[in-house]
């Protein structure tokens, strides 16, 4: 994990359960004309912010083969808040609490391996056994983002977690998304050595199986060191890599090459303004811009029109 928005809208656990329950009712439409923002508020807003971690009312069905994002399509990373993408954008990635964008390839962001800070109380009240704890009973928390790490150590816990997260995936499908981006695959790095890579690979496999069963593609988010297992064992369809240009070359690392070795050009690369800046972005565009999707964003991925907003694509 390298980047998350500090805004509560990013990686939010609040979704549209009400709209699912009132499917196709006025105020619950998720489609919008191309280049128009589909997040205009309605009178339903006052009651729409219910926990999206609850199972959806309506179970979506698979519709055709899984389709990965268009290779080298212009990408817009909007997990910090939704806004109307420019017409040249082909791929939009939004938080699972937001609607998909009509006329674009849509990726649905979910925090699959850690708990949102604003959902901590819900997890503790309803699924405390699924939050990772030390032998002394202390919660294991990713201090960088104040997120409890989810416990993927046993098959029983992974099955229980999948029952929850797969409900969010169903919600993404119901909203019109074509793919999901499960974040924090590499939570083993923040688990005090309690979680192994194999634990998270096994959990990711459950999520991939469910996503594919309802016709959604699924991305490997970061963790280039398991790209082989991600592609060939989990069954990830494409990769989303944060700052692989910035970290390529450090200690002999070749992150971007590692992803492309297994995923070919089915790679979306994001470089950030506060770590490598335009130097990394320009180098990435020179090296791979003709082959894959590369985006340059501000660290907090704030919506267009907000202070600090930065966006470029090559």
Considering just the CA atoms, what is the radius of gyration of the chain in Å? 18
pTM for the model: 0.80
141: phi then psi, degrees, rounded to nearest 5: -125, 135
- List the chain domain ranges: 14-313
Tens-of-pLDDT digits for all 314 residues of the chain?
443 333 333 333 333 333 333 333 333 333 333 333 333 232 333 222 233 333 333 344 444 589 999 999 999 999 999 999 999 999 999 999 999 999 999 999 999 999 999 999 999 999 999 999 999 999 999 999 999 999 999 999 999 999 999 999 999 999 999 999 999 999 999 999 999 999 999 999 999 999 999 999 999 999 999 999 999 999 999 999 999 999 876 654 589 999 999 999 999 999 999 998 999 999 999 999 999 999 999 999 999 999 999 999 99
Helix (H) or strand (E) holding 102: none
Cβ distance 232 to 263 under 8 Å?
no
How many residues would you count in the chain? 314
Contacts of 70 (CB under 8 A, 6+ apart): 90, 91, 105
Residue 208: what pLDDT?
98
Q: Any idea which residue has 């994001």 for tokens?
A: 270
212: phi then psi, degrees, rounded to nearest 5: -65, -35
In order, the DSSP letters of 224-270 are GGGHHHIIIII---EEEEESHHHHTTGGG--HHHHHHHHHTT-EEEE
Q: Any idea which residue has 């979910």 for tokens?
A: 110
User: Cα(115)–Cα(184) distance, rounded to whole angstroms?
Assistant: 10
Closest CA to 178 of 104, 127, 114: 104
Domain at 14-313: CATH code:
3.20.20.70
Residue 306: what pLDDT?
97
User: Could you give the C-alpha distances from 135 to 124, 132, 139, in angstroms and in order?
Assistant: 17, 10, 10
Contacts of 185 (CB under 8 A, 6+ apart): 112, 113, 200, 204, 220, 221, 222, 223, 226, 230
């Amino acid at each position: 994990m390298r980047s998350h928005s500090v805004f509560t809208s990013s990686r939010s656990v609040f979704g549209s359960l009400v709209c699912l329950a009132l499917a196709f009712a006025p105020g619950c439409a998720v489609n919008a004309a191309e280049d128009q923002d589909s997040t205009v508020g309605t009178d339903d807003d006052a009651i729409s912010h219910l926990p999206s971690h609850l199972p959806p009312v309506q179970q979506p069905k698979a519709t055709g083969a899984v389709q990965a994002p268009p290779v080298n399509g212009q990408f817009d990373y909007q997990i910090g808040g939704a806004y109307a993408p420019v017409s040249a954008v082909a791929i939009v990635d939004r938080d699972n609490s937001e609607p998909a964008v009509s006329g674009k390839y849509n990726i649905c962001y979910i925090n699959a391996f850690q708990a949102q800070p604003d959902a901590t109380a819900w997890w503790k009240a309803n699924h405390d056994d699924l939050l990772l704890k030390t032998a002394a009973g202390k919660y294991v928390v990713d201090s960088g983002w104040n997120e409890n790490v989810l416990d993927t150590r046993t098959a029983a816990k992974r099955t229980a977690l999948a029952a929850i997260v797969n409900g969010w995936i169903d919600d993404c499908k119901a909203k019109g998304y074509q793919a999901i981006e499960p974040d924090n695959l590499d939570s083993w790095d923040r688990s005090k050595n309690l979680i192994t890579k194999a634990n998270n690979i096994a959990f990711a496999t459950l999520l991939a199986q469910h996503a594919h069963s309802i016709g959604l593609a699924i991305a490997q988010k970061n963790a280039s060191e398991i790209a082989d297992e991600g592609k060939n064992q989990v069954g990830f369809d494409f990769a989303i890599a944060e700052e692989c240009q910035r970290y390529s070359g450090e200690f002999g690392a070749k992150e971007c090459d590692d992803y492309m070795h297994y995923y070919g050009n089915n790679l979306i690369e994001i470089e950030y303004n506060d770590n490598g800046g335009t130097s990394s972005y320009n180098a990435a565009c020179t090296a791979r811009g003709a082959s894959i999707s590369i985006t340059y964003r501000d660290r907090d991925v704030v919506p267009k029109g907000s202070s600090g907003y930065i966006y470029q694509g090559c």
